[in-house]
Amino acid sequence: MKEKKEYKNTLIIVPTYNEVENIGSLLERLIIDVPGADILVVDDNSPDGTRNLVLKHAKTEPRVHLLDRKKKAGLAGAYIAGFSWAIDNGYQVIVQMDADFSHNPKTVPELLDGLSTHDVMVGSRYVPRGGVVGWPWYRHVISRCGNLYAKNVLGTHINDNTGGFVAWKREVLETIGYKNMRCKGYAFLVELKYRSSRAGFKVGELPIRFIDRRFGESKMSGQVFFEAALRVLQMKLISQR
């Protein structure tokens, strides 16, 4: 039987807020599906007990870590804190993913293997064999249009600019200045990829099937996407100065 590859010096960052129904199962899956990799949960002081459940796992599994933020401070802030923790602790590869099983833990090794030929690997819903399962029609429209808009306005080859399932080589994040992003929220995810592409790093896309969350409430809305669209235009204008 072929042994699973071990992904040493790799950190998987999972931001959480009220994910107690998902985080325990996700940690168990990542431990099995991504051998050798460590997991950092960045929790924004969830009132539902997410933090305590992560600490329970960390007591028996040294690969699980918790970054405990004292208040809810947004997706961008959570990733900036997580990236900094990863770099400070010497990790060479960093993965970002959601806590709600919309990103399949079994796909993480494929993203990581893609870094053998790329600097950044994006789990993409909008390439052949990619897609979304479980969304109402209007979310499909908003997301698809938002990504086409970002791709055309910014002039990149990336098809899934708003996706949050990404593997990074450490040097990319250090080079693009992740701490100094102008955007917050989901536009932050777009800006990370845009800066990577503009800096000349090789960005690849892996087809994924995005599955709508099983438990809890989505933190996505039409307002969030429209705000991101405005930020995309600002990104382009600033880059032309």
Mean pLDDT within 36-49: 96
Q: List Cα–Cα distances, 56 to 16, 49, 70, 143, 202, in angstroms.
A: 16, 11, 19, 36, 39
Q: Bridge-partner residues for 120, per DSSP? A: 168, 203
Kindly state whether residue 2 falls inside one of the protein's structural domains.
no
Share the mean pLDDT of the chain: 89
Range of the domain at 219: 10-239
Do 207 and 129 contact (CB within 8 A), yes or no?
A: yes
| Mean per-residue pLDDT, 167-194 | 91
The pLDDT-based confidence of 184 (bands split at 50, 70, 90) is confident
pLDDT 10s digits, 26-41: 999 999 999 999 999 9
106 occurs within a structural domain: yes
Poorest-confidence range of 61-65, 184-188, 190-194, 235-239?
Answer: 235-239
pLDDT of res. 49: 95
State mean pLDDT over 101-129: 97
Inside any domain, residue 5: no
Residue 241 scores a pLDDT above 90: no
Higher pLDDT, 146 or 224: 146
Interval 3-26: pLDDT, tens: 679 999 999 999 999 999 999 999
- Candidate from 45-49, 53-57, 62-66, 72-76 with smallest mean pLDDT: 72-76
Distance CA 112, CA 126 (A): 19
CATH number at residue 228: 3.90.550.10
Q: How many domains does the chain have?
A: 1
Global confidence as pTM: 0.91
User: Of 62 and 240, which is predicted with more confidence?
Assistant: 62
Q: Is residue 1 part of a domain?
A: no
Q: Is residue 231 part of a domain?
A: yes
The answer to whether residue 235 sits within a structural domain is yes
Handedness of CA 20, 72, 86, 191 (dihedral sign): positive
For residue 109, give the amino acid letter: P
Express each pLDDT in 188-235 by its tens digit: 999 999 999 999 999 999 999 999 865 545 555 455 556 666 676 666
Q: Tell whether 149 is covered by a domain.
A: yes
What pLDDT was estimated at residue 233? Answer: 63
For residue 234, being part of any structural domain is answered with yes
Q: What pLDDT score was predicted for residue 1? A: 47
